[in-house]
Amino acid sequence: MCPTHSFFCQVGPTKKSPKPPAIDYKKNTHTQTIDFDSFIDNSSFASLSVITMIALSEVYASQPVNVRHLDFNSIGELPETHAWPRHLDRPRLDEPVPVIDLRDPNVLALITHACETWGMFQITGHDIPISLLDVAESECCRLFSLPVDDKLKALRPPDGVSGYGVARISSFFNKLMWSEGFTIVGDTTDNARKLWPHPHDHRRFCETIEEYKEQIRSLTMRLMTLIFSSLGLRDEDEDRSSYKEASSVVQLNSYPPCPDPDRAMGLAAHTDSSLLTVLYQSSTSGLQVLRVSDENGPERWVEVPSLRGALVVNIGDLFQILSNGRYRSVLHRAVVNRTKHRFSIAYIHGPPAHIKISPLTAILDPLIGPLYRGVIWSDYLVLKANHFNEALGSLRVEEKEDK
Ligand SMILES: O=C(O)CCC(=O)C(=O)O
């Protein structure tokens, strides 16, 4: 999720990725080998496609994240495995990440400015009830407060996408992060049952997640419409109609209180492989966004403050491609603190599986031409799982004028 394609954490990647291979964009090789009838499962079609799941399973199986799962509550000292070189230069607090009220008559201009300069903004006036955000946060708390042995019953398998575990990007770093996650793709009942055998307990979790997903899904569709309009696309533009459906993943994150927060990392700097991500960062701040060097100063981290009831929206790699680089997929990370258990919920919004993501023809400058090759989401996820923040750069093509 990185417009500049370099690591900004001082801890480097453990894997030196070879140059990403060229994908054969003319054919989707996965589709030729899959017997669809044996995979018909409405719950997973509702989110990520079977093709995507299989492609990802293959990559994940080839690079398992081998870690010992910590019982964060019982640790009095930061273990060496989790001690990062001092990286936490104080974040700037004086540069406010844009906060946009969706009812503002000027909303499109505000979105354009935020997407071009920050790649991230907070929204208010979004009509998601605060009570739903509160309940979702308390369900996160209930899940992550379980004893570690209970959480491990829903451990994400090495080749799987759903379940409990450490951040997937852990395999790219030689230090571990002070966080745990729970990934939800499609229906989460099976995993919830493993965590809470009693129906009353898992039903409560599943119902909250379903309600949250449904409400954030329709908000995200509204945001897609606003962002397309902010780029100058008209309602009838053909480009736009392909995005009426979507795939989604919900990621619950937990950052327990940490005995040495200045040397720990909650979630290392990354960009999102999505079109858009809508994040609820609960009542405890911890999200930071990278500002690139500009007239206000050199490259710097800026804190995204937690605002009661607000949601954070960030542009993902795929929207950077769609907008031909005009809207920025921005590096962000999460830090931890000594006293508070922080939770966040990311709704990762991707395109329908069969859509090839390419710069939108309606907004292309004929003098510049497309700056990215087209890619379908499953291929992009595989590229990202293998090459992390070099993935987006590997799709970049020369500007016309340079040729
Ligand atoms: O917890 C946060 O504030 C950031 C979460 C995030 O970046 C992610 O889930 O990809």
Q: What is the Cα 399 distance to its own chain's centre?
A: 28
- Whether residue 239 is predicted with pLDDT greater than 60 in this model: the reply is yes
CATH number of the domain within which 257 lies = 2.60.120.330
Distance CA(376)–CA(213), nearest Å, equals: 23
- Asked whether 357 and 376 are in contact (CB, 8 A), the reply is yes
Distance CA(233)–CA(363), nearest Å, equals: 7
Phi, psi of 4 (to 5 degrees): -105, -10
Distance between Cα 183 and ligand 1 center (Å): 12
- Going by their DSSP bridges, the two strands 120-124 and 99-101 should be labelled as parallel
Q: How far is CA 207 from CA 156, 192, 214, 215, 370, in A?
A: 21, 11, 11, 12, 43
Could you list the residue range(s) of the whole structural domain that residue 190 is in? Answer: 5-10+32-394
Distance CA(306)–CA(313), nearest Å, equals: 13
In the structure, what pLDDT confidence band is assigned to residue 76 with cuts at 50, 70 and 90? Answer: confident
Whose tokens are 């009095």? That residue is 76
Distance between Cα 253 and ligand 1 center (Å): 7
Residue 182 DSSP code: E
Average the pLDDT over 67-91 and give the result. Answer: 82
* pTM summary value: 0.86
- Going by their DSSP bridges, the two strands 247-255 and 342-350 should be labelled as antiparallel
253 belongs to a structural domain = yes
Q: What is the pLDDT of residues 145-189, one digit of tens each?
A: 999 999 999 999 887 889 999 998 888 898 999 999 999 998 999
- Name which residue leads in pLDDT, 388 or 56: 388
Q: What is the pLDDT of residues 15-69, one digit of tens each?
A: 444 444 443 333 333 222 222 222 223 333 344 566 666 666 766 776 666 677 8
- pLDDT, mean over the chain: 83
Task: Give per-residue burial for 167-199: e unless 16+ CB within 10 Å, then b.
Answer: bbbbbbbebbbbbbbbbbbbbbeebbbbbbeee
- Ligand 1 proximity of 287 Cβ (cutoff 6 Å): yes
What is the number of residues in the chain?
403
The SS3 call for residue 294 is strand
Span of 35-44, 69-78, 260-269, 346-355 with lowest mean pLDDT = 35-44
- For 304, other C-beta atoms within 10 Å of its C-beta total 25
- Ligand 1 proximity of 332 Cβ (cutoff 6 Å): yes
402 belongs to a structural domain = no
Nearest residue by C-alpha to atom 8 in ligand 1: 346
Pocket test for ligand 1, best of 1, 267, 331 (most atoms within 8 A of CB): 267
356 belongs to a structural domain = yes
- Ligand 1 proximity of 286 Cβ (cutoff 6 Å): yes
24 belongs to a structural domain = no
Overall number of domains in the chain: 1
Distance between Cα 315 and ligand 1 center (Å): 13
What would the two tokens of residue 326 be?
């005009």
Distance between Cα 217 and ligand 1 center (Å): 18
Q: Judge whether 342 counts as a catalytic residue.
A: yes
In the structure, what pLDDT confidence band is assigned to residue 294 with cuts at 50, 70 and 90? Answer: confident
Locate the ligand 1 atom nearest the alpha carbon of residue 266 and give its number: 1
309 belongs to a structural domain = yes
Locate the ligand 1 atom nearest the alpha carbon of residue 342 and give its number: 1
Please identify which of the residues 333, 342, 373, 396 carries the catalytic annotation.
342
- Ligand 1 proximity of 334 Cβ (cutoff 6 Å): yes
**Partner residues linked to 26 by β-bridges:** none
25 belongs to a structural domain = no
15 belongs to a structural domain = no
What pLDDT, on a 0 to 100 scale, did the predictor assign at position 392?
Answer: 95
399 belongs to a structural domain = no
Distance between Cα 299 and ligand 1 center (Å): 20
Q: Which residues contact 345 (CB under 8 A, 6 or more apart)?
A: 136, 137, 140, 212, 250, 251, 252, 253, 279, 280, 282
